[in-house]
Structure 1
């Protein structure tokens, strides 16, 4: 088993004091390691965390990333989302200083098997479902096994790694920002003499024994240099699997289908359209697994599924395969899926007022996710969209807006980008009756939606954009939406 003591004598710098950076700096300091943490934000922007880090013995350099920090750094831990192109990290790489992350260190230290899940959309729902199914299985079987769920959701798992045993199981949501550090090529400038022992193991390629790629569509191109780099990051979740490992792949997604056929690990396919032996599918009107001979093993009728939308049926199929590969029974799947109503900010019902339903889908930070949300409703829609554009194509989403909505209410930095796409699409859909509105912020958009919505309508917040023009993250945007709706 890998231990933290193997890194004794190394000097660490944590770059970025987001959720993961804070947790890692505290963890390392409490284990007696010399830790410096740096963040581009000044102390007043970071709040109470500054005092707790200082009290734990973390040296803080805030408001800048001075290159002098590299003089006494053996390893940098980089918070997800910090671009590798910033001068500080470029200088570190040119000096041969290795880079890693809290997530990669956790996977290195974790004694339990890991189930890893990535994709452009559906990660959190699938991860949560998989964790709940495995928890139900453990409870019903009387097993002492504990199920730990985290990664890109919930608490940073480094906080609890010392509590995890080899008998437990970890279910991790993994983003492209986290996975890009699982590739050893990221540290190809590090001299060979530094890549021995524990540090070499930490920087080597690694994939979970059970992994899933739910889908790959254009996303985060404001952060990754190109679609090629984005796909390369996602592939890390299966790149280093062994032939005996399991990869759960989406047969309905072009990119996932292509990638899944290139690897030696045991592929288990899920599909809403096809049925493959060893996979999961919709068989008639039933969510089902298929055995190695292709025989259908019913899980539950689709009518008993509480989640809305075809995309969520796809997530359910993936969760069934993942949990099955980790030892769950069909009974545990049926129990959880039949009662699971979703995760907050993901097609979350907020309120019904005067016959109008208000739905919070703030997680929709790309046009692709907005499309999935629109396709989840048969009712007339008043759509609230906008925020910070991620340099993704809007043409398909714009066309669907004209078919599915009565009103499109835009807000935030991307207002004119989306408006232009809608007006362009309108040239080909001459009978579209959708009314386009522009608002300065979300509060104004909610007020307007409440005045134009009719009984039977759905007011849907599904922005299709990042939130950073006005909010800390999508969760804050969703919370503000709920508060605004509650005040109507």
Structure 2
């Protein structure tokens, strides 16, 4: 059925990064005639071309996005990093050529239940936790498949999946804005201003996130953060069962997880079931307690044993680039929080520490407000070092330095490497040096992971 559907279909994929390459392989394997189009020149794409060299029904068009590619195209698929304002995409819509992406096609063909997780912050930690719980809860031959916006695109494994399996996928707003399918269980962790450089307005960003719920059926489940206003505003769009999470007790008529006297609990609508103590969570910060409450809500909604969830959470120490302890150096703890690509994420990281903080901020701005973070920095951060493209905007938000008030020092470095050396000079034993940039990495690095790996390397090289 699937092979018949794609046989001979002319598909244009715009963006030949991780998602585009995975989708190209899937579609070409199933008989589609695929054109991979990327603005990068051919010399930068040699490795990608070699990776798909075994598939003769893929052609490449590089160095731009000529409108003529649409002349013989049945479907256009858009990779996550490609803006929908691209002229070729606007022309495709004008001609009535449908748009899709790898996540949409995966959901159309997935043979098993799919759990989708999105949010402005915390989705990778939560997705990883849910995946680990699923892997332990499902008995062979059942399998848990984890991917999407993290790891490998799930369409890579689609032909191996069985109806008794479960797929867990992290979904970004870039993927969701095109989607007309929703997962079996759709979770929204939080919605706060993010990616406004892409979506333009908070309302457009929120509308993209809402697609994880809008196409569910009455038999599906929505998981919502009842204490986040951006998420809770979507509760009227829930079509099936609603499960919530938050720190306070769920209101009358709701079911979900909550925190009661430092015990994480499940409320089934009539009675409380204590699950485990907050002290068993090894992740720093209130935001990570919220992530665990979300993962528990998803696990309970999926019907997995709570004792399995407890075992996994007790063992879980986090994922790379998210408040990751890199090194203790001369009594100073160096933390990599490169995932923090918005000011709000940086604020959550600051609140995770009681120690004196040396904060490294900078990168490429996403047209987000900095005022709230600036106020928190003046309350909690001893030293600030800014770097990269957005340094001047951050300095402007922080305002002039006031003698005897936080931050006690404020330094501007051109690069992250120089910021690391500056932090080493100012940090004292007992301090925390925190890379939590509040910006994307694209002014200097491929992605936040490359930035975090470079930070690790430079910190480990300190004498």
TM-score (norm 1): 0.91
> Contact 2:384 / 2:407 at 8 angstroms: preserved in 1?
no
Inter-partner Cα distance in structure 1 for 2:428 and 2:291: 32
Tell me the distance in 1 between the aligned counterparts of 2:77 and 2:40.
17
Cα offset, 1:360, TM superposition? 0.3
- C-alpha contact (below 8 Å) 1:406/1:435 kept by paired residues: yes
For 2:168 and 2:136, locate their aligned partners in 1 and report how far apart those are by CA, in whole Å: 14
Cα pair distance change 1:402/1:4, threshold 3 Å? farther
Distance 2:330 2:3 in 1: 58
Give the one of 231, 255, 272 matched to 1:278: 255
Match for 2:331 among 330, 345, 355?
Answer: 355
C-alpha distance in 2 between matches for 1:406 and 1:378: 12
State the 1:262 CA deviation. 4.1
Q: In 1, distance between residues paired with 2:133 and 2:203?
A: 34
How many residue pairs match? The answer is 459
- Match of 1:365, SS? coil
Give how far 1:135 is off. Answer: 1.2
Aligned to 1:85: 85
Change in 2 beyond 3 A, CA 1:433/1:68: closer
Q: Which runs of 5+ in 1 are unaligned?
A: 183-204
Residue 170 of structure 2: aligned partner: 173
SS at the partner of 1:60? strand
- Please tell me whether residue 225 in structure 1 is matched to residue 222 in structure 2: no
Q: Pick from 216, 224, 230 the counterpart of residue 241 of structure 1.
A: 216
Once residues 97 and 261 of structure 1 are traced to their aligned partners in structure 2, the CA distance between those partners, rounded to angstroms, is 32
Runs (4+) of structure 1 moved beyond 4 Å? none
SS in 2 for 1:267: strand
5 Å-filtered alignment, 1:302-381, equals: 302-381=278-357
Aligned to 1:290: 267
Q: More deviation in 391-400 or 31-40?
A: 31-40
Q: Distance in 2 between matches of 1:379 and 1:47?
A: 47
Residue 296 of structure 1, CA deviation? 2.0
1:269 counterpart (244, 248, 253)? 244
- 1:9 Cα deviation (Å)? 3.0
- Look up the match of 1:437: 411
After superposition, give the CA deviation of every residue in 1:52-104 in whole Å (9 maximum; x if it has no partner).
Answer: 33442211111111111111111111111211111111111111111110111
Residue 393 of structure 2 is matched in structure 1 by: 417
Matched, 1:150 2:147: yes
Map of 1:196 onto structure 2? none
Deviation at 1:4, TM superposition (A): 3.8
Q: 2:158 aligns with which of 158, 161, 169?
A: 161
Aligned to 1:250: 225
Query: What's the CA shift for 1:143?
Result: 4.2
Normalised by the size of structure 2, how large is the TM-score? 0.96
C-alpha contact 2:337 2:434 (8 A) present in aligned 1: yes
CA drift of 1:363 comes to 0.2
- The CA distance in 2 between the partners of 1:446 and 1:408, in whole Å, is 11
Shift of residue 432 of structure 1?
A: 3.0
In the alignment, is the contact (CA less than 8 A) between 1:379 and 1:457 conserved in 2? yes
Separation in structure 1 between the aligned mates of residue 236 and residue 272 of structure 2, nearest angstrom: 23
